Amino acid sequence: MASGSGTKNLDFRRKWDKDEYEKLAEKRLTEEREKKDGKPVQPVKRELLRHRDYKVDLESKLGKTIVITKTTPQSEMGGYYCNVCDCVVKDSINFLDHINGKKHQRNLGMSMRVERSTLDQVKKRFEVNKKKMEEKQKDYDFEERMKELREEEEKAKAYKKEKQKEKKRRAEEDLTFEEDDEMAAVMGFSGFGSAKKSY
């Protein structure tokens, strides 16, 4: 012995609690026997999936800077914090994926199964949506149509002004060409750039 402490226990192997593991093995065996006997263990009953009754806040931290230190709590760190699952997600797309995901829904106590709608529920939903569409069309018919007409009138006015400017520019160019022709005739030229003589 090199260290001089001869009475210390030099056994570094891990000691297993045999009684505890025997109990766990017996428990597993009894569960397997129950499954074999045709009496499966009752699964956890969860609620059916339902609509969120709150608005997901994705824009409150948009464009803001936050100083993060070692003592900053996890809920105030950069990204989106889920208080149900106690996790931080870095961007909005992954946060929405997490909220709609299986793990989050299980922590809320819901399964991923959706309640089947009855025929009456579907008919009522169609009626509600139809009424909403009719209301939107009524609002659109008058106000939106007036806005569109005003915009079309403004575009037509702008187009006419552009045309008038174009005509003025062409008229000015024609005048300059006529003046050049008169000057050429006075000087004895019949025209600039023509090699043929006209009789």
Instruction: Render each residue's pLDDT in the chain as its tens digit; 199 residues.
Output: 455 555 566 677 777 788 888 999 999 888 887 776 665 556 667 788 887 888 888 888 778 888 888 888 877 877 888 888 889 898 889 999 999 998 998 888 888 888 888 999 999 999 999 998 888 777 666 777 788 889 999 999 999 999 999 988 888 877 666 666 677 777 776 655 555 555 5
Q: Exposed (0-12), middle (13-18) or buried (19+): which is 79, by Cβ within 10 Å? A: middle
In a domain? residue 184? no
Asked if the structure places residue 163 within a domain, the reply is no
**Domain assignment of residue 34, yes or no:** no
pTM value is 0.42
Domain residue limits at 92: 64-114
- For residue 1, the model assigns a pLDDT of 45
Is 21 among the domain residues?
no
Q: Kindly give, in sequence order, each residue whose CB lies less than 8 Å from that of residue 114, ignoring residues fewer than 6 positions away.
A: 48, 49
In a domain, 173, yes or no: no
* pLDDT attached to residue 173: 78
Token match 């026997």: residue? 33
Give the integer Cα–Cα distance in Å for 150 and 119.
46
Count of domains observed in the chain = 1
Q: How far apart are CA 16 and CA 18, in angstroms?
A: 6
Residue 98, helix vs strand vs coil:
helix
- Residue 110 in any domain: the answer is yes
8 within a domain of the structure (yes/no): no
71 lies in some domain? yes
